[in-house]
């Protein structure tokens, strides 16, 4: 049987010396790649400890995707095998990086004014408009702020969605738990006490209910909590009292559900928040079981994170695939690898005051925003990424 084999020495710092058979410099990052018998073998030298990720171009698109990692690795030389089909005829980079978070500012205090909150529970980032959306639960509203804390607008106000029609407004909210950005400047609100997901736009206009569908008795929510929009524009909703998570289309059709009360690893207890990574994997803050439960894109249980966790309330995935988790028993924010290893912990704001019952997290390239619910404020962290990259390119295999 013919054996297909090709060796690629990537564009690394010492690529020339590698090609001539010299020993690579162990004090610098270098990578080699070998493809044979359906397997792509990377050999990677790491000059220092850090997180490693392999990025590859998306065929037909001017963008890159993460095909492996990030994984925290110690200094040294390692071998890593991937299916050749994921590597052949593609190019990309291998990253060695570290993430540093530094608390910078605190926004808000208790009250109902423009920069005040009352036990806020959910937060999201509109990366296009560079705005924060905050579910100000105790004030029955959604507040929009600029990244620097400037007040922009508020939406909602107290009301009963299914109450007396002569007294309610369509855009009224009753203890909204979470909010997430959507397409075309829309955002979705988990209206907790009204048992619904409703839609607003950035011009303060109420656009109706997404779920449950009117007059459909099979579609019901019981105190919805966390909500998130994935890369395919599906809406993921945590149904609090039902201990379930639903995947819903933007037309209000339920695709499938995860969880249900029980004691197996497949089931949930008192879930609160949710996030979805680039690969479609689902991370759920399973508060009652003291873990972050991880499912694949089809809803099959994969693994769980428990390191230093007691009652995790918020979970977010940062732009580099790292996991941020807050816990309202330990009053901490933790930075984790996808494998569940905690790399850093924060329990204070920039002024030294302690966190109190943090509830949710939002992350973007340069900032992480923590909702410090017990202190009725938002804590901003500067996010700084340092490290190095090595480009790689793999062509078609040739016959040996």
CB 186 within 8 A of CB 172: no
Q: Where are the domains of the chain?
A: 5-98+387-394, 109-375
pTM (predicted TM-score): 0.90
Dihedral angle of Cα 12, 18, 22, 25, to the nearest 10 degrees: 20
DSSP 8-state secondary structure symbol assigned to residue 19: H
The tokens describing 35, both together, are: 């493809």
* DSSP letter string, 272-323: EEEEE-TT--EEEEEGGGTEEEEE-TTS-EEEEE-TT-SSEEEEEE-TTS-E
β-strand pairing of 342-346 with 332-336: antiparallel
DSSP 8-state secondary structure symbol assigned to residue 187: E
Over its length of 400 residues, how does the chain's per-residue pLDDT go in tens digits?
Answer: 333 333 333 333 333 333 333 345 567 899 999 887 788 999 999 999 999 999 999 888 888 999 999 999 999 999 999 998 888 889 999 999 999 999 999 999 999 999 999 999 999 999 988 999 999 999 999 999 999 999 999 998 876 444 444 455 677 999 999 999 987 778 999 999 999 999 998 776 889 999 998 777 777 899 999 999 998 999 999 999 999 999 999 889 999 999 999 999 999 999 999 999 988 999 999 999 999 999 999 999 999 999 999 999 999 999 999 999 999 999 999 999 999 999 999 999 999 999 999 999 999 999 999 999 999 999 999 999 999 999 998 866 544 4
- Residue 290 vs residues 265, 270, 310: alpha-carbon distances, Å: 12, 10, 5
- Residue 20 vs residues 14, 45, 269, 397: alpha-carbon distances, Å: 10, 18, 59, 22
- pLDDT in the model for residue 205: 85
Helix or strand run (H / E) with residue 302:
strand 301-305
Q: Which fold has domain 109-375?
A: Neuraminidase (2.120.10)
CB 260 within 8 A of CB 243: yes
Architecture in CATH of 5-98+387-394: Sandwich (2.60)
- pLDDT in the model for residue 396: 61
Token pair 């340069």 is at which residue?
Answer: 366
- pLDDT in the model for residue 1: 36
- pLDDT in the model for residue 257: 95
């Amino acid at each position: 049987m013919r054996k297909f084999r090709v060796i690629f020495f990537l564009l690394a710092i010492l690529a020339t010396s590698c090609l001539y058979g010299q020993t690579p410099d162990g004090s610098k990052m270098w990578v080699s790649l070998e493809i044979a018998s359906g397997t792509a073998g990377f050999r990677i030298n790491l000059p220092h400890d850090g997180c490693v990720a392999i990025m590859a171009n998306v065929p037909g698109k001017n963008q890159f995707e993460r095909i492996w990692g990030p994984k925290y690795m110690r200094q040294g030389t390692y071998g890593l095998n991937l299916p050749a089909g994921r590597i052949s005829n593609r190019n990309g980079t291998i990253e060695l990086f570290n993430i540093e978070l530094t608390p910078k500012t605190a926004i808000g205090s208790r009250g109902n004014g423009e920069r005040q909150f009352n036990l806020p529970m959910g937060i999201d980032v509109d990366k296009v408009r560079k705005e924060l959306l905050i579910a100000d639960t105790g004030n029955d509203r959604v507040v929009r702020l600029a990244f620097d804390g400037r007040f922009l607008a508020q939406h909602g106000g107290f009301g009963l969605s299914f109450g007396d029609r002569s007294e309610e407004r369509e855009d009224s909210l009753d203890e909204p738990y979470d909010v997430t950005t959507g397409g075309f400047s829309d955002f979705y609100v988990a209206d907790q006490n009204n048992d619904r997901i409703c839609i607003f736009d950035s011009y303060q206009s109420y656009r109706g209910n997404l779920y449950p569908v009117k007059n459909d008795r099979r579609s019901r929510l019981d105190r919805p909590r966390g909500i998130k929009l994935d890369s395919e524009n599906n809406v993921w909703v945590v149904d609090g009292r039902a201990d379930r998570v639903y995947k819903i289309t933007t037309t209000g059709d339920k695709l499938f559900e995860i969880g249900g009360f029980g004691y197996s690893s497949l089931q949930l207890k008192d879930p609160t928040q949710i996030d979805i990574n680039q690969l479609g994997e689902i991370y759920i803050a399973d508060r009652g079981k003291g873990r972050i439960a991880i499912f694949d894109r089809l809803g099959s249980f994969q693994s769980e994170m428990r390191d230093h966790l007691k009652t995790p309330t918020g979970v977010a995935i940062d732009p580099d695939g790292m996991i941020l988790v807050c816990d309202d028993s330990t009053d901490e924010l933790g930075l984790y690898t996808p494998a569940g290893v905690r790399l850093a912990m924060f329990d204070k704001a920039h002024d030294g005051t302690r966190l109190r019952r943090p509830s949710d997290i939002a992350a973007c390239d340069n900032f992480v925003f923590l909702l410090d619910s017990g202190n009725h404020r938002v804590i901003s962290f500067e996010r700084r990424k340092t490290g190095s990259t090595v480009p790689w390119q793999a062509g078609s295999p040739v016959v040996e």
